[in-house]
Amino acid sequence: MIDVTDLVVSYGTAIALDHVTLAVGKGEMVALLGPNGAGKSTLANTLAGLLTPASGTVSGTVRVEGRLALVPEGRQLFPDMSVADNLALGGWRSGQRDPAPVYELLPRLAELAGRRAGVLSGGEQQMVAVGRALMSRPQVLVVDELSLGLAPNITADLAAHLATLNREQGLAVLLIEQNARLAFELCSRAYVLESGQVRAEGACAELADDPRVASAYLGGAIT
């Protein structure tokens, strides 16, 4: 679904992504791990086609099959609009403005429909962001920092929803995370991005056993 080969993105003299090659197959759930500033969000923005020619230069190939939706880092809702309006705008690409299917998946959103997005809790906002992305009926979902700033039980709830979507509807997911435990729990494969380069990749079970990965992302403890 996502096929990235030799991607280089630079802003002026700063190189954000350095020959990155990465793939997400049909119905696959893949994690992308890495510290702050590794280039994760640049990759997310590149995949979503949000890099403007003025903001950076791009080389390499990026192929995306089917519709891709992004749940951006920091939710990025329209804070002054209602949840229903946020969702409706999520359907801009697909032309689907009726949020009923998303309410079915995430019933809590139906209860919040009339509330202003800006006043919701972090977990609720993240749910709106996921719901908004689903409105475009994507075949691939890129989720940037699902767990950031959220309590573990809320993250677990959202993650369970993603896992269900992946299992039941074959939605491919690229989960960009700093929380490796969560990523390894959900995903089959993972990439480790550091300083713009893919430093490690493989099945999650193997990566979890890699002492370097374990010490950097799992706090030394091997699950």
Partner 1 sequence: MSAFLTYLLNGLAVGCAIALIASGLVAIHRVTGVVNFAQGTFAVVAGLCTSSLLGLGVPHGVSEAAAVLLAGVAGLLTGLAAIGRPGTTPLSSLIITLGVGVLAYAVEIVLWGDQPRSAPGLAGSVTIAGARIQTQHLLVIAVTAATFVLLALFFGRTYLGKALTACASNPYAARVVGIDTRRMGLLAFALGGLLGGLAGVLITPLRPISFDTDVTLIVNAFAAAVFGALTRPVVALGGALLLGVAETMAAGYGYGSHQLEVALGLMLVVMIVQASRRSAIHEEAV
Partner 2 sequence: MKRIAAAALAVAVALGLPLVLDDSALAVYVLLGLAAIVTVGVSLLMGFAGQVSLGQGAFYGVGAYTAALLALNGFPPLLGLVAAPLMAAVFAVLIGMPLLRLRGHHLAFATLAVQLILLSLAGQLEFTGGDIGLQGIPQFGIGSWEMDSAAAYAWLTWAALGLVMLVTHHVIASRPGRALRALATSETAAASSGIPVGRYKLVVFALSAAFAGLAGGIYCFYTGYVAPGSFPVLISIQYIVMAVVGGLGTVWGALAGASAITLLVQGLDRLAALPGMPTYAPSVLSYAVYALVLIGVVLFLPQGLVPALTRRDRPGRRGRAS
Neighbouring residues of 8: CB distance < 8 A, sequence distance ≥ 6: 15, 17, 18, 19, 20, 58, 59, 60
* Contact yes or no for 38/193 (Cβ under 8 A): yes
* Interface segment toward partner 2; rule CB under 8 A; list 52-60, 85-93, 97-105, 169-177: 52-60
Determine if 13 is a binding residue for partner 2 (CB under 8 A).
no
Residue 56 found at the interface with partner 1 (CB under 8 A):
no
The window from 18-26, 47-55, 59-67, 205-213 that contacts partner 2 (CB under 8 A) reads 47-55
Question: How many residues appear in the chain?
Answer: 223
Distance CA(115)–CA(55), nearest Å, equals 35
Query: What x-and-dash track marks residues 101-130 binding partner 2 by CB under 8 A?
Result: ------------------------------
Using CB under 8 A as the binding rule, whether residue 52 contacts partner 2 is answered as: yes
Report how far apart the first and last C-alpha atoms of the chain are (Å, whole number).
30
**Site for partner 1 contains 80 (CB under 8 A):** yes
Residues in contact with partner 1, counted by CB under 8 A, come to a total of 23
Binds partner 1 by CB under 8 A, chosen from 26, 63, 93, 212? 93
Q: By CB under 8 A, name the one of 18, 23, 97, 113 that touches partner 1.
A: 97
> Should residue 90 be labelled a site residue for partner 1 when binding is judged by CB under 8 A?
yes
Nearer to partner 1, 118 or 152 (CB): 118
| Binding flag, residue 157, partner 1 (CB under 8 A) | no
Asked if residue 27 lies in contact with residue 3, where contact means CB atoms within 8 angstroms, the answer is no
Would you say 52 or 153 has its CB closer to partner 2? 52
Backbone angles phi, psi at 184, to 5 degrees: -70, -30
- For partner 2, how many residues bind (rule: CB under 8 A)? 4
Residue 148 binding partner 1, by CB under 8 A: no
For residue 50, what are the CA distances in angstroms to 41, 58, 130?
A: 11, 12, 18
Burial bucket for residue 125 (CB in 10 Å: 0-12, 13-18, 19+): buried
Rounded distance between C-alpha atoms, residue 17 and residue 51, angstroms: 13
Is residue 54 involved in binding partner 2 (CB under 8 A)? yes
Nearer to partner 1, 105 or 200 (CB): 105
Q: Applying CB under 8 A, which of residues 2, 30, 77, 204 lies at the interface with partner 1? A: 77
CB 175 within 8 A of CB 186: yes
